[in-house]
Chain A
Amino acid sequence: MSDRIADIWGSRTPYGGGEEWPERVDEHLEEGVPRAEIRWFQSACVLCSNGCGLDIGVLDGRIVGVRGRADDRVNRGRLGPKGLFGWRANNAADRLATPLVRRNGALEPVGWDEALDLVVEHSRKVLADRGPLGMGFYTTGQLFIEDYYTLAVLVRAGIGTPHLDGNTRLCTATADAAMKESFGADGDPGSITDFDLCDTIFLVGHNIAETQTVLWARVLDRLDGSDPPRLVVVDPRPTKVARRAEVHLPIRNGTNLALLNAIQHELIAHEWIDREFVEAHTIGLEELEKTVARYTPERAAEICDVSASAIREAARIVGEAERLVSTCLQGVYQSHQATASAIQVNNIHLVRGMIGKPGCAPFQMNGQPTAQNTRETGADGDMAGARNWQNDAHVEELARLWNVDAFQIPSWAPPTHVMELFRYAEEGSIRFLWIIGTNPAVSLPDLGRVRATLAQDRLFVVVSDAFLNETGELADVVLPAAMWGEKTGTYTNHDRTVHISEKAVEPPGEAHADMDILIEYAERLGLRDRDGAPLIKWRTPEECFEAFKEMTRGRPCDYSGLSYAMLRGSGGIQWPCNEENPDGTERLYTDHVFNTFPDYCEEYGHDLLTGAAFDRKDYEALNPSGRALLRNAEYVPPPEEPSDDFPLLFTTGRTVYHWHTRTKSGRSRELDAAAPEPWVELSVADAERMGVGEGDVVRVESARGALEARARITELREGVAFAPFHYGAWGRADPGDAEAGTANELTITAWDPVSKQPLFKVAAVRVEKVADSGGVAAPAPTTTASEPVAPLVRAGVEPT
C-alpha cells in the first residue's frame, strides 16, 4: 500500500455508472506485528459520518491495526487516513485511567466511589435547591446508541430536565432540521449506492474530499470510469472537489440561500421541473415560485460575488440531470441561514421529482459517525424515536415505554440547545453540567466566553472522557471513559447504515464504558420508574439495544427488526428494518409518501426567519398529509459583515488529517505529523495587498479574540480568510493564547434560528503580518484545499 498520508484517497478502481464499486481492501498494522497471530474484531470507523466497515486487529490485548471490510456496503474495504491511523489514540500513554477530583485547585486521582459520591452529592444538592432545571448535560457525536439511549432515558425520564444536547448541534443539527421541515421527519432519503447510479452530483458547502475521504474515493472512481457524473461545486475554497468540478461557484460565505434561490429561479424559468410530481407529492410551489422569482442570476451574482453566467451554467447542469445526487455539509450548516438554505437543496430534488428513486437523492450529510444516533435516541434536542415534543401522544408513548409519568418528561417547551445551555450556565440557572466526550472549551464559538462560564465557582462541572482535554482542565470531576474498540455497541451513518462494533480490548486502568458510568450514576442517585423499580432496566449493551429497538418500533427510524446477531458478519444494514422490511430499506419515500401526517410527523415546522415554532393547528391548516413541503425564504445579510475595522470574512473548517479538537488524531503520530500546527489561508490578492508571503506569521483578529499562525497563500476567493478549527490550547499554559491558533477565539456567538447550529463560517476579521517566515512554510497540508498556489511550490514548499 502507498503512503496513505500523501495518497489520501488511495489507488483508483474506476467503474462505470450503475456498476458495483470494486473492492479494494486497505489495511494498516504496526510494524513487525506477526499477522497470522492477530485476532480480528468487527467494527466501523468513528472518524467521519461515512462509517466505513473495518476490523480491529488485536495482539496480546492491544490494538495493533485495522483493515477495511471488503463486503461492507459503505466502503467495500477502503479506509481513509483517519481510519487507517486514528486507532493509535487508543494506545496513547496519556489515556485517563482513573477518576480525578479537583482539590485545592488541582485535579487529583481518586477511586470511582469517591468521584461518583461527589457527583451524586452535587446532583442531589442542585436537585433539592433548584429542581431539574438546575441540571444540564452535554454529550457528543462519538458514542454508541447504547450510551446515548441510556443518557437520554436518565436525563429525560429520570432527572426530568430539558437541558440535554449533543455536540451534533455543531455539525448536523441543520441536516436534521432541514429534513424535518421538508419531509416531516429525520432520516436521509437516499442510499450511498446512489453515487454509483447518478449522472450529476451537486455539492453545496461540502468538501467531501477531506470530510468523507472514502466517499470521495467512490466519486473519483466514477469520475475516472465510463459514463462519469457531472460535478457542480459550491465552496469559497479551492477544494480538491472544486478542482474536479465542471462548474465551481466560489461564493462569498454566508450567501448560500441567494444562490440556491437563483438556481431554483432558473429551474422554474426553463421548466426543468416535474410538474406532475410536484402537483401530486408536494405543497408550496406557488409561494416558492413567488420568492425565487426575485432571485435572478444577476441579483444572486451580486450577493454571492460570482458570475451570473456561472450560476446559469450550474442551474442548467442541475436542471438537465436525469439522476441527481446533491449533498450539503458544514458550508451550509455552519453558515448563515443554515436551515433555510439546506431546505432549498431538498426543494431542488422535490421540484425535479428526484427523490426516492435510484440515483436520485438529496443528502443532508452528517459530520460525525454517530450523530444520527444522538438524534434517534433523543440525546440531543430531539425526542427519542423521532417523536414530536409538541405531540402529547408521542410523549405519552415514551412515558409508557420508560414506565414514568408523562409529566416527568419535559415537553412544555423545545429541548434546550447547547448555546442556550451554556447561556443558562452563564447566568447561573444551571448549576450542574456534565460534559461527555466533547471539548466545548475548543469547539464552541467565542471561547473567552465559554471558558469564563465553565470556570465559575457556582457551576459544578463533570467531564467524562478518554483524555484530559481543555474542558477537563476546567472540571470539578473527571471520569475516565472507554473508547471505541473497548466496548460493544452500534451506530448509524449518514445513509442509515447500522453497524456493530465489538469490544476488542479492555479499556485502560479503571476506565469504563459511558453506558456503565451512567447506569452506575442512575443507581446511586436512586432514579426509579413509577413502580419504584430502577429506571434503567439494562446492564449489557445488547439489553440496551433491545430496549432501544422497542422504542423505535413504528417510527421512521425503525430498528425493531435488527439484532446484534444480524449485524454480526453483515456489511451494514439500513433502517427502517422491521417486519415489512426484514433486510432493511435502501431508500425512503419510494412511494413518494412523506412523513408529514400531523399525528406522525417529528415536528410542525418553524418560521425560517425567526425560528418561531409552528403548532399543530398551523400544520393541519397546511394539510400536507404525506406530501413534502416546499419551504421558501428570502436572503437576509448575516449578523456580522466585513467593515472598515474588520474587512475580511473569516471561515473555519475540518481538514483531512484531523478530527475535531485533535483529542484522537493529535495522538496518532502519522496524522499529527501531517498537520502538526495551525495555519491561516489567504487569497493571493489579499496576501499581496498586505505584503504577506507563504509562511509569514499573521495575526487574525475579530471583535472577540485573535489567533496567530503562519499564512498559506492559496487560490481561496479574495476577501476571505480560513483557519482549521482543530487547534486548541493543548500543551500551552494560557488557554486564551493567540499563538495557540484557536479558530473559535474569533467566531461569533450566533446561530441559525431553526436548527440552532452556531455560525462558524461567517465572522468579520482583520489580518496583519506579525513576523517574517524565516524561510519556513506554513504547516498546512499541500495535498488538500490548503494546496499552495503554484509559484510558491517552486519556492520550496515541501509536499506533505
Chain B
Amino acid sequence: MKLDVAIESVQDAEASLAKELRRAGERHALQSDLYHLTRMLADRCEQQLERLLPFATRYGAPDTHDPGESSAVVEQVRRLGGELAGRHEASGLVLLDDLRGLYVSAQEAEISWTVLIQGALAIRIASSSRSPTSAASTPRRGRSGCGRV
C-alpha cells in the first residue's frame, strides 16, 4: 500500500490550495467577503494538514509542509496592489480568473482526500483521534468552500 504517496498528494493539494486562497484574497482585498473567507478557509487547510501530520509520520510521508504564507511585507504589498487595482473595472475579470483557479485547486484537494480515505479504509486504520467517518467529511467541507465559486 502506497499510503505515503496518497498522504503526500493531499499535503501538496491542501498546501497549494491554502496558498492560492491567501493570494486570491490579498489580490482582491477590496472584495471584502472574499478577503475574509479566503483567509478563514486557508487556515482550515492548515488545520487539516496539522491533523494529518501523525499519519504522515507513521506512513513515511513528509512530516513538514510549506505553510504557503508569504512574508508580512509581501502580503501587505499584494494587498495594497489589490486595493489600487480594485478600483479598476478589469479587476472583475481577474477575480473571475482567480475563482476559476481556486475551484480547480479545491477539486484537486477533494480528489486527493478521496483517494487517501479509500486507501485508509482499505487498510482499516483503527487508532487515532480521527475516525474514518469523520475523515470522510473533510472533502465535503472543501467542496462547500468552493460552492460559492
Judged by a CB distance under 8 angstroms, whether B145 is at the interface is yes
B32 & A749 in contact (Cβ 8 Å cutoff): yes
Is there a chain B Cβ closer than 8 Å to A503's Cβ?
no
A414 CB to nearest B CB, Å: 11
Q: Is B124 an interface residue (CB 8 A)?
A: no
B148 at the interface (CB under 8 A from A): yes
Q: In whole angstroms, what is the CA distance A749 to B36 when docked?
A: 10
Q: Are A750 and B36 touching (Cβ within 8 A)?
A: yes
Residue pair A750, B33 in contact (C-beta under 8 Å): yes
Q: Mark A602-644, 1 if CB is under 8 A from B, else 0.
A: 0000010111111000000000000000000000100100000
**A423, CB-defined interface residue at 8 Å:** yes
- Closest B residue to A130 using CB positions: B89
Q: Which residues of B contact A607 (CB under 8 A)?
A: 144, 147-148
- Chain A residues in 8 Å Cβ range of B37: 610-611, 753
- Using CB atoms, name the residue of chain A closest to B148: A612
Within 8 A of A (CB), among B89-127: 89, 91-92
Task: Answer whether residue B58 sits at the interface, using C-beta atoms and an 8 A cutoff.
Answer: no
- Residues in chain A near residue B39, CB distance under 8 A: 639
Let me know if A428 and B147 touch, CB within 8 A: no
Q: Answer whether residue A144 sits at the interface, using C-beta atoms and an 8 A cutoff.
A: no
Q: Which of A419, A429, A610, A611 contacts B89 (CB 8 A)?
A: A429
- A428 to B39 CA separation, bound complex (whole angstroms): 26
Which of the residues B41, B92, B147, B148 comes within 8 Å of A427, measured between beta carbons? B92
* Cα A150 to Cα B10 with chains together (Å): 54
Q: List 28 A-B contacts (CB under 8 A).
A: A419-B32, A423-B30, A423-B32, A427-B86, A427-B88, A427-B91, A427-B92, A428-B88, A428-B89, A429-B92, A607-B144, A607-B148, A609-B144, A610-B37, A610-B41, A610-B144, A610-B145, A610-B147, A611-B33, A611-B37, A612-B144, A612-B146, A612-B147, A612-B148, A750-B32, A750-B36, A751-B32, A753-B33
Q: Report, as a range, how many residues of chain A touch the other chain.
A: 10 to 19
Residues of A within 8 A of B88 (CB): 427-428
Q: Which residues of B contact A639 (CB under 8 A)?
A: 36, 39-40
* Given known contacts A419-B32, A751-B32, A426 and B148 CB-to-CB distance under 8 angstroms: no
Given the complex, which residues of B lie within 8 Å of A426, measured CB to CB?
Answer: 30, 86-87
CB distance from B107 to the nearest CB of A (A): 15
Asked whether B31 is an interface residue with its Cβ less than 8 Å from the other chain, the reply is: yes
Which chain B positions have C-beta within 8 A of A612? Answer: 144-148
Given contacts A423-B31, A612-B147, A753-B37, list 20 more A-B pairs with CB under 8 A. Answer: A419-B32, A419-B33, A423-B32, A426-B86, A427-B87, A427-B91, A428-B88, A607-B147, A607-B148, A609-B40, A609-B144, A610-B41, A610-B144, A612-B146, A612-B148, A613-B147, A614-B147, A750-B33, A750-B36, A751-B33
Q: How far is the CB of B126 from chain A (nearest CB, A)?
A: 21
Residue of B nearest to A424 (CB): B92
What is the CA–CA distance of A607 and B36 in the complex, to the nearest angstrom?
16
A636 to B36, CA, bound (A): 12
Closest residue of A by beta carbon distance from B95: A427
**Interface-centre pick from A428, A610, A612, A751 (highest chain B CB count, 10 A):** A610
**A interface residue numbers (CB < 8 A to B):** 419, 423, 426-429, 607, 609-614, 636, 639, 749-751, 753
State how many angstroms separate the Cβ of B86 from the closest Cβ of chain A: 6
CA distance A751 to B146 in the complex (A): 18
Contact with A along B19-39 (1 / 0, CB 8 A): 000000000001111001101
User: Which chain B residues lie closer than 8 Å to A751 at the CB level?
Assistant: 32-33
User: In residues 132-149 of chain B, which contact A (Cβ within 8 Å)?
Assistant: 144-148
Which residues in B have their C-beta under 8 angstroms from that of A611? 33, 37, 148
Q: What's the nearest-Cβ distance from chain B to residue A573, in Å?
A: 39
Given the known A-B contacts A749-B32, A751-B32, A751-B33, are A427 and B145 also in contact in the complex, defined by CB atoms under 8 Å?
A: no
> Once the chains are docked, how many angstroms separate the CA of A427 from the CA of B36?
19
Per CB-CB distance, the 7 closest pairs between chain A and chain B, nearest first, are: A612-B147, A612-B148, A749-B32, A639-B36, A607-B144, A428-B89, A610-B148
Question: What residues on B are CB-neighbors of A613 within 8 Å?
Answer: 147
Q: Which of B32, B37, B39, B87 has the most CB of A within 10 A?
A: B32
Closest chain A residue to B85, Cβ basis: A427
A636 to chain B, nearest CB (A): 6
Nearest to B32 among chain A residues (CB) is: A749
Within 8 A of A (CB), among B42-75: none
Complex formed: what's the CA distance from A614 to B148 in Å?
9
* Alpha-carbon gap, A749 to B83, bound state (A): 13
Chain A residues with CB below 8 A from B148, complex form: 607, 610-612
Instruction: For the complex formed, measure the closest distance between the CB of A563 and the CB atoms of chain B, giving whole angstroms.
Output: 43
Q: A423-B30, A750-B36 are contacts. A428–B87 as well, Cβ < 8 Å?
A: yes
Give the distance to chain A from B102, nearest Cβ to Cβ, in Å: 12
Q: Closest approach, in angstroms, between the C-beta of B98 and any C-beta of chain A?
A: 15
The CA-CA distance from A426 to B145 in the complex, in Å, is 26
Cα distance, A481 to B31, chains bound together (Å):
34
* Closest B residue by C-beta to A615: B147
When distances are taken between beta carbons in the complex, the residues of chain A under 8 Å from B30 are 423, 426-427
B83 to chain A, nearest CB (A): 10
**A19→B64 CA distance, assembly (Å):** 69
In the complex, chain B residues whose CB is within 8 Å of the CB of A749: 32
Q: List the B side residues contacting A636 at CB < 8 Å.
A: 40
CB distance from B56 to the nearest CB of A (A): 25
Residues from chain A with a CB closer than 8 A to the CB of B147 are 607, 610, 612-614
Complex CA distance for A613 and B149, rounded to whole angstroms = 10
Chain B residue with the shortest CB-CB distance to A420: B33
CB distance from A117 to the nearest CB of B (A): 28
User: A610 to B147, alpha carbons, bound, how many Å?
Assistant: 8
The docked-state distance in angstroms from the alpha carbon of A753 to that of B33 is: 7
B23 to chain A, nearest CB (A): 18
Chain B residue numbers with a CB within 8 Å of A750 are 32-33, 36
Docked pose: A609 CA to B43 CA in angstroms: 13
Q: Give the distance to chain B from A227, nearest Cβ to Cβ, in Å.
A: 47
Using CB atoms, name the residue of chain A closest to B145. A610
Q: How far is the CA of A607 from the CA of B142 in the complex (A)?
A: 12
- Closest chain B residue, CB of each to CB of A426: B87
Cα distance, A391 to B36, chains bound together (Å):
30
Which of chain A's residues has its CB closest to B39's CB? A639
B140 to chain A, nearest CB (A): 10
A760 to B145, CA, bound (A): 25
- Measured in the bound complex, the distance between the Cα atoms of B85 and A428 in whole Å is 12
A749 to B28, CA, bound (A): 13
- A614–B143 Cα distance when bound, in Å, is 12
When distances are taken between beta carbons in the complex, the residues of chain A under 8 Å from B145 are 609-610, 612
Whole-angstrom distance between the alpha carbons of A429 and B36 in the complex?
23
Which of B33, B37, B86, B87 has most chain A Cβ within 10 Å? Answer: B33
Note all chain A residues with C-beta closer than 8 A to B87. Answer: 426-428
Considering only residues 4-24 of chain B, those with a C-beta below 8 Å from chain A are none
Q: Which residues of A contact B89 (CB under 8 A)?
A: 427-429
- Which A residues are CB-close (under 8 A) to B31? 423
Q: Which residues of A contact B40 (CB under 8 A)?
A: 609, 636, 639
Taking CB atoms, residues of chain A closer than 8 Å to B92 are 427, 429
> Complex formed: what's the CA distance from A427 to B87 in Å?
4
